[in-house]
Amino acid sequence: MRIFLTGATGFIGSAIVTELVKAGHHVIGMTRSEAGVRSLEEAGVEVHRGTLEEPHSVRLGAEKADAVIHTAFDHDFSRFVENCQKDRRVIGALGEALKGSSRPFVITSGTGLGNAELGELAQEDVTNFEHPNPRVASELAGNALLDTGVNVSVVRLPQVHNTVKQGLISPLVEIARAKGASAYVGAGRNRFPAGHLSDVAVLYRLAVEHGEPGARYNAVGEEGVESRQIANALGRGLNLPIVSIAPEEAAGHFGWMAMFAGLDFPASSTKTRRVLGWNPVGPGLIADLNAMDYGSLAA
């Protein structure tokens, strides 16, 4: 297939490029920069220039493809709500290009949307539009397109990791450095689901090849890693003390990350594995944190 991929030069998108090319697909990768153009050309990818701030430029990429995978997202979490609304607009623009066809369109969300109640295992068959995560805007946009006949499916992401990045865990490294301690909230029993980057890339490929309208997939290799385990690994790697922060002090310590630091949002991928035959085999989150070169990270 000719697959249009937004976010093609990003952390997750670049791994998807490798996976799609290896499987024999023709990839049209979106980028906004000259450096992005060069990296995509070196990977044997057709380049499409576009930006999330100009949804029409993104739509033009979808118009020349047999399928679309949308992973691009503005990760400035100080403007998280605004960026989720930006994602909603981009999904709408991509969907307009696909209306009247059965071409698969895979969008991206978070596993938290599958939590019927906080603390319960997130499930693929659950969509909690009352969830406090503003990323709900992405799935609302996808549902609106489904109602018009667009073939939309969703990959829900946990903390996607390798030894370089680990989703929401990565900012905790800089917070720990700034505060002089690696912290968790309360008893640290709240859990973060996780998935290795290479496994997540495979799942996106399987999802777009399967092309099932309305399907939701959890890219989860580990259902839940306790925050105190994460804090312990970061403390060891950074050679910093490991401390517990009272819930009422979380905002002062974690800043914008406080909205996530104490959340318990485990997730299951049982259905995803069964339906797609997906079998995650990559290292676990703590193994990657233990193997990370903390000295190479910017202080």
Give the number of other CB atoms < 10 A from CB of residue 299.
9
User: b/e for 261-298, b at 16 or more Cβ within 10 A?
Assistant: bbbebbbbbeebbeebebebebbbbbebbeebeeeeee
Lowest mean pLDDT among 99-108, 131-140, 175-184, 203-212: 131-140
CA–CA separation, 40 and 54 (whole Å): 21
CA–CA separation, 50 and 63 (whole Å): 13
Confidence of residue 133 (pLDDT cuts 50, 70, 90): confident
What's the maximum distance between 2 C-alpha atoms anywhere in the chain?
58
**How much is the average pLDDT of 97-113?**
96
Task: Provide the pLDDT for residue 167.
Answer: 93
**How much is the average pLDDT of 115-140?**
88
Give the number of other CB atoms < 10 A from CB of residue 125.
8
Residue % of the chain over a pLDDT of 70: 99
* β-strands 152-157, 182-185 pairing: unpaired
Q: How many residues belong to the chain?
A: 299
- Where would I find the H helices in 168-240? 169-179, 197-210, 227-238
Q: Torsion-angle region of residue 207: left (phi > 0), alpha (psi -120 to 50) or beta?
A: alpha
Confidence of residue 299 (pLDDT cuts 50, 70, 90): very low
- Tell me the CATH class for 2-160+194-222: alpha beta
Lowest mean pLDDT among 91-105, 126-140, 267-281: 126-140
Which sequence spans correspond to the domains of the chain?
Answer: 2-160+194-222, 163-193+224-265+284-294
DSSP three-state, residue 33: coil
207-259: pLDDT as tens digits? 999 999 999 999 999 999 999 999 999 999 999 999 999 999 999 999 989 98
297 has pLDDT over 70: no
23 has pLDDT over 60: yes
Give Cα 213 to chain centroid, integer Å. Answer: 20
118 has pLDDT over 90: no
- Tell me the CATH class for 163-193+224-265+284-294: alpha beta
- Amino acid identity, position 14: S
- Find, among 256, 260, 264, 140, the residue nearest to 191 by Cα: 264
CA–CA separation, 267 and 247 (whole Å): 23
**How much is the average pLDDT of 35-55?**
95
250-294: pLDDT as tens digits? 999 999 899 889 999 999 999 999 999 999 999 999 999 999 999
**How much is the average pLDDT of 135-163?**
96
